[in-house]
Amino acid sequence: MKLLNLHTHSQTGNPDIFELVNQYPDEFDDSVAYFSIGIHPWRIDENRLQSDLQVLESKLADKRCLAIGECGLDKRIETPIGLQLEVFEVQLLLAEKYKKPVVIHCVAAYQEVIETKKRMNIEVPMIIHGFSKNEQVARSLVDNGFYLSFGKWLLRNPELESAFNSVPDDRFFLETDTAEESIEQVYGLAAKYRNVDLEAFKLNVSENFKTVFNFALE
């Protein structure tokens, strides 16, 4: 059973790992095997927004494109939250149109993301990547239908164990994002926290991926 790296910015080519590589419309790499594509709030540029959206939509029909993202909201950057929300909502509409899950970047805007999901009645799966908050935030997101993806902060912050263990078995994923740590390290610690055999744990994550992405790992 392969390991799944739900969100990474680089393709290693390791045959034992299924990597969902993050792509941007303005820097698309056609050599990537499987990818998500989205307009990150850090990369919103009004001068090329329409062309980015056109590229984004054109890639959604590609069978290698498994998700939209990362996209979302970030209150700690200078880009006005209103503009961020507008770009986020357009991408959520595309996700609904093409029936693609959404990989979400969220910083200090969890309530806004939850409210947007409810207001727009988004039905496709929505995954908060790089989750690093407490058990209360985790439970709130799960209760509102979100999935959570854990990565480097699971390795770096022991206090995240309780939040990770509070997430139901069918609602989490694992990733590396841009971290130096390997996906093997993330899996090893996550399985230890759950007190589960690594092979059984890999099967758990694989089943989650099949459910959310309608894609079976080998």
- Asked whether the beta carbons of 153 and 130 are under 8 A apart, the reply is yes
177 marked among binding-site residues: yes
Q: Per the confidence metrics, is the pTM higher than 0.85? A: yes
Domain residue spans of the chain: 3-213
Task: Classify domain 3-213 by CATH architecture.
Answer: Alpha-Beta Barrel (3.20)
Q: What's the average model confidence in pLDDT over 205-211? A: 97
**What pLDDT, in 10s, does the model give residues 21-75?**
999 999 999 999 999 999 999 999 999 999 999 999 999 999 999 999 999 999 9
Q: Where are the alpha helices (DSSP H) in 9-127?
A: 49-59, 81-98, 110-120
129 marked among binding-site residues: yes
Q: Which of 33, 36, 28 is nearest to 12 (CA)?
A: 33
